[in-house]
């Protein structure tokens, strides 16, 4: 670093030499005096025709800096937007150095950022880092922290500035930590900052989280559920463009184990109130695939959610035959009916169930209705359910309190 921001003539000379191949340059240095100021001038003869103008521009920036003339420096880069050159970017950097000398630290920070933005190179980058180390309280803009890749800078904003800037700092720090191009990447910590930013209202954080959670990397396991959660929050991503949001919201309000299946063109079905998640998933899938709304020739439905967790169409076991006992009752409603009403009775009675979730029971009460008659009535009602489209017939599973094997 050049102390006090003073760019020595030797440094100026070597900067020029480094930018042009040595074998193409002939340098002849001459000293002259003008207006009582010593000015170091170089007469350059080279194969690259523009070198003399670059030298003059840089010499002028050095002269402006030596004279501590901010107006002169500003004039040099006044047209940088339409006509950018490295020398004009360097003039911006030198202006930042003068601002630091006069204690205008916040202005210097902005000026260094401008120089970097216009390709100023290592000098403004290092100056920005040195400024943070000397005047950390000035850094309230997270973009400056990102430029110097300083976690301490981000943390200072997050801890001391409870505002939109703090949320932006969480987002930018998280982005830096999950970046595969960062040699000090830490995705596990990175997603924590990104999730905090998303919770704080940053609209871009969910998009990056959606992408980050798609694959396992550096200790962070892929998480399909979180990927979809954040994908649905991202304005630029739509994981399920055909999803009926009202139908899904209805599903979310259900009790018991539940599952949601979605068809290619938007038809959907959800199961609810089921005694275990595997059966809930299988029922949702089979009912969705047999929906009268499904168009012929379209792809099968896919499971997208089980018990409120987003899933990537997992394999689920086929529906099994009745396994016996209360645990073999498929729905919570069937279990409640059995335990609250059926099991406590002393009259003749029959309990029936289908693998599709239909169930029912009949009792004789004080009548002389036989078990065969009760069975016929219970099966007839059970098999008339809309669920019968799955073609799983109802079966007798309990008679007079005894389980049927």
pLDDT for 185 equals 93
What are the phi and psi torsion angles at 368 (to 5°)? Answer: -100, 25
pLDDT at position 399 is 98
**Quick one: which H or E segment has residue 338?**
none
Residue 163 pLDDT = 84
The contacts of residue 161 (CB under 8 Å, 6+ apart) are 140, 169
Distance CA 341, CA 344 (A): 6
pLDDT in tens, the chain (405 residues): 222 332 232 232 223 223 333 222 222 222 222 223 322 222 323 333 344 454 455 588 999 999 999 999 999 999 999 999 999 999 999 999 999 999 999 999 999 999 999 999 999 999 999 999 999 999 989 999 999 999 999 999 998 767 889 999 999 999 999 998 888 899 999 999 999 999 999 999 999 999 999 999 888 999 999 999 999 999 999 999 999 999 999 999 999 999 999 998 889 999 999 999 999 999 999 999 998 877 766 778 999 999 999 999 999 999 999 999 999 999 999 999 999 999 999 999 999 999 999 999 999 999 999 999 999 999 999 999 888 899 899 999 999 999 998
Q: How far is CA 167 from CA 106, 164, 170, 196, 375, in A?
A: 21, 5, 5, 8, 65
Q: pTM for the whole thing? A: 0.72
Looking at 3.30.390, 1.25.40, 1.10.10, 1.20.1740, the CATH number of the domain 61-138 comes to 1.25.40
CA distances from 358 to 327, 338, 393 (A): 15, 14, 9
Residue 191 is predicted with a pLDDT of 97
């Amino acid at each position: 670093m050049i102390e006090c921001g003073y760019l020595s003539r030797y440094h100026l000379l070597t900067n020029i030499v480094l930018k042009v191949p040595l074998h193409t340059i002939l340098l002849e240095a001459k000293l002259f005096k003008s207006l009582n100021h010593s000015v170091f001038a170089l007469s350059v003869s080279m194969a690259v025709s523009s070198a003399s103008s670059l030298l003059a521009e840089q010499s002028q920036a050095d002269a402006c800096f030596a004279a501590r003339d901010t107006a002169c420096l500003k004039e040099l880069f006044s047209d940088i937007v339409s006509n950018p050159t490295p020398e004009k970017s360097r003039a911006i950097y030198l202006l930042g150095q003068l601002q630091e000398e006069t204690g205008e630290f916040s202005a210097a920070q902005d000026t260094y950022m401008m120089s970097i933005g216009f390709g100023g190179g290592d000098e403004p980058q290092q100056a920005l880092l040195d400024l943070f180390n000397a005047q950390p309280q000035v850094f309230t803009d997270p973009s400056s922290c990102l430029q110097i890749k300083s976690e301490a800078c981000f943390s200072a904003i997050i801890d001391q500035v409870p505002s939109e800037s703090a949320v932006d700092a969480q987002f930018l720090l998280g982005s830096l930590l999950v970046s595969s191009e960062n040699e000090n990447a830490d995705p596990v910590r990175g997603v924590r900052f990104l999730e905090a930013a998303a919770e704080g209202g940053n609209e871009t954080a969910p998009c990056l989280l959606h992408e980050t959670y798609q694959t396992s990397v550096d200790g962070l396991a892929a998480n399909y559920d979180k990927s979809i959660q954040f994908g649905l929050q991202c304005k630029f991503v739509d994981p399920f463009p055909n999803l009926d949001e009202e139908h899904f919201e209805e599903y979310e309000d259900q009790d018991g184990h539940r599952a949601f299946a979605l068809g290619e063109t938007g038809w959907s079905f959800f199961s609810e109130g089921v005694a275990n998640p595997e059966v809930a998933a299988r029922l949702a899938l089979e009912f969705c695939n047999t929906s009268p709304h499904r168009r012929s020739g379209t792809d099968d439905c896919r499971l997208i959610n089980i018990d409120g967790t987003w899933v990537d169409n997992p394999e689920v076991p086929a529906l099994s035959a009745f396994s016996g006992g209360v645990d073999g009752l498929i729905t919570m409603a069937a279990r409640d009916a059995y335990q609250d009403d059926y099991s406590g009775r002393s009259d003749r009675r029959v309990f029936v169930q289908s693998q599709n979730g239909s169930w029912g029971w009949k009792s004789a009460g004080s009548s002389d209705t036989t078990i065969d008659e009760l069975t016929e009535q219970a099966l007839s009602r059970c098999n008339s359910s809309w669920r019968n489209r799955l073609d799983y017939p109802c079966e007798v599973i309990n008679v007079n309190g005894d389980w049927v094997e």
